[in-house]
Structure 1
Amino acid sequence: MKVNPHGTRMGERFIKKIIDHAVGEQTEQIYVTVFEQHEALITLFRRYGFEQIGTKTSNNGIELVLAKNIHANYLGMYSGYPLVKLGQNKAYILSLYPQWHTRLLPDSILRNETNDIVEDTSSANSIHKVYLTKMHGVDALRQGDILAIYRTSDGQGPAHYRSVVTSIGVVEEYRHLDSFASAEEFFRYCRPYSVFTRHELEDLWRRRNYPFVFKFMYNLSFKRKVTRAVMIEELGLPGTEQYWGFFEISHGQLRAIANKGEADESLIID
């Protein structure tokens, strides 16, 4: 891989694509060779679980050989990526409007969407995402909690059939808007990973109408989107009595949704 750095975190997107391809091909190990002077790239690979297993000598010099085992012992959410660890962590349904969903999760677009709307931006490319909301209950999120990302209806039909779960993410951190000491700290935290422009973030900071801020990792994208109808009628999730913006689900329901979405279930571990 060769990436010309231009501030949009394209390196992370390459790593995600490589790992996704390996998972799809049921390949257990990935390796890459890299020259020692490329320190930033090596740091990036190491963060997501690549470890040096040797060196390679060629006419161009000596390269490090870095490898990652997809199902290696889970040591943490970063090195273990894309594994999703249940453990004592809670699982939730989290809704995103279509316009935010597509810009934030480019590998989870629907068949009726075009890749032309996926932009080369840091929020689209990065494995990490920042989301701002005012939905009740979101302040309960803690590091390690699991999110089933629910794309709300596009208005082209009944929400029962048009609203779908498309992917799974893992919470890195929850913060309240008041926890930021200044507007500049808030901008630095949000700008690389959120869909909002600097101007929009300035407006959100001033109006303070979206006080819940959390960062999550984009771990699994479903092959088949799971409709609200399937979740209610086949998997036992609550119906119209439940507000579908944000609510807790069981680990069993999360696994059932992932199964319906044809995700690799070996990536969800106890």
Structure 2
Amino acid sequence: MSTIGWVIYNGNLPSSKFVDFARMLQEAAHRQNGELHIYKNNDLLSFLVSNEFKILKNTPESLPDYVIFIDKDIYLARQLESLGIPVFNSSRAIEISDDKILTYQELVKEEIPIPSTIIAPKIFSTGTIEKNMLTQVIEQLGLPLVIKEAFGSFGEQVYLVHSEAELREKVEQLQGKPFLFQSFLKSSFGRDLRLQVVGNHVVAAMKRTSEQDFRANVTSGGKMENYSPTTEEKVLAIRAAKAIGADFAGVDILFGPDDSRYVCEVNSNAHIRNLFDCTGINAADYIVRHILRQIK
């Protein structure tokens, strides 16, 4: 009897890249003689009644043997886990990955190198910004520096500021949102690495570059090329994925001074189409194989 799984993506987003990721995983499962049914997160309603968790859906299909969760709807992921269903990545891994502040805190616990970072104190939308706080940030990190909102994807919600006036203006704009300040690695301007980790292995990697933007994300106009990571880069990426508890993740690595490397982000649901187009390696096959081994 074949193993039956679900892959869940966000049905409220207009881009086709989300369902494309789901289909790549579904096709990979079929190649491994498994069944993987695609669901939107809004096809599955988390229903709570006294002493019971339920999932409301419009099909008679029974609950799956496992779920591949490529969305950030952690409440739905937790609901499925509460029903005893193995979820990959786990709701906790997704929660940490989705929040850059939590991610960096977990990385530092494991002594994984990151750019120097200051977490912005919680500032309510009606609060006031103390000049002393901005002065401390500049003294510690220098200028220019990077500001990152805690929640954001595809290199968006990341800003490079060059002056104290620019810094104050951006902080005022972000009042009411969680964000952080980070040292700017000039040595990594417009270039980074994306390593795809599955289990204990790096299965594919690419280098991304941009001539116009300090961010190298392809969505921001960056170009990509196949890359053969060093042993040290592989170990760093695997450690970063494990630090947030991810079974699979796209780990972004920055180039530091003196040929050093720093972890920039750990993406629990990193899309793999660009990686496939760049390297010819279909990470979906590795992800599904890893999960089937885990549940068996």
TM-score range, shorter chain: under 0.3
Q: TM-score, normalised by structure 1?
A: 0.25
Larger Rg: 2
Q: Which has the higher contact order (CA 8 A, sep 6+)?
A: 1
Q: TM-score, normalised by structure 2?
A: 0.23
